[in-house]
Amino acid sequence: MRRLSAVVVGASAGGFRALSQLLSSLSENFPVPVVIVQHLSPESMNLSVAQLDRICRLEVKECDDKEPLLPGKVYIAPPNYHLLLEPDHTIGLSVDPKVNYSRPSIDVMFETAAEAYGDELAAVVLTGANNDGTMGCLKIKNFGGLVIVQDPATAEAETMPKSVIDNVGADYIIPLNEIGKLLNKLAEENPNG
């Protein structure tokens, strides 16, 4: 049985609606941290954090540098910073150059998460209009992690989920409204609670 210690989520075009649906379906005692990169313009105020916090049973917050990842909390990358998951399970923020024209980059978060959590990681790729997340999913698979992709037919922009399916493959390709239920089930099945 797979142990789940963290969930990472990448979203781009159409991401706010997708994240709203996903996060509102997570159980109130969801036992692992959820870390999100949503592509935003560098100048944007991260207003989605407060909106998502209102509809989610878990606390949703914009993350801080060196912040420890705690079970049952949702962390969102601030605009114009890469979010890295460190080996000691804290958050790192960086202003390194953009990756795939994006900062924050989904690939950067996914690749560092793969190194930090190995086979205890689940990655979720949601709607998006580019291929950010594909290389990160490849690394997650190589480290034994789980890749869950929104069925492109249910995505506002299918390019990002389709790129992962075509170039990496996925453990699950499911409609958006099934992803939260799957994560709840995987978390409930955690060995030793």
Tokens of 167: 């170039």
pLDDT at 78: 92
> Where in the sequence numbering do the catalytic residues fall?
12, 39, 132
116, part of any domain: yes
**Domains: count for the chain:** 1
pTM for the complete prediction?
A: 0.95
176, part of any domain: yes
Q: 118 lies in which domain range?
A: 6-188
Phi, psi angle pair for 186, to nearest 5°: -65, -40
Residue 6, strand partner residues = 121
128, part of any domain: yes
Nearest CA-CA partner of 77 in 101, 99, 61, 54: 61
- Residue 156 maps to which CATH number? 3.40.50.180
Residue 110 exposure: Cα atoms within 13 Å on the Cβ side = 30
pLDDT at 101: 86
70, part of any domain: yes
1, part of any domain: no
CA angle, corner 48, sides to 19 and 4, nearest 5? 40
pLDDT at 100: 83
pLDDT at 142: 98
User: What are the pLDDT tens digits along the chain (193 aa)?
Assistant: 678 999 999 999 889 999 999 999 999 999 999 999 998 655 555 557 888 999 999 999 999 999 999 999 999 999 899 999 999 999 999 999 999 888 999 999 999 999 999 999 999 999 999 999 999 999 999 999 999 999 999 999 999 999 999 999 999 999 999 999 999 999 988 875 5
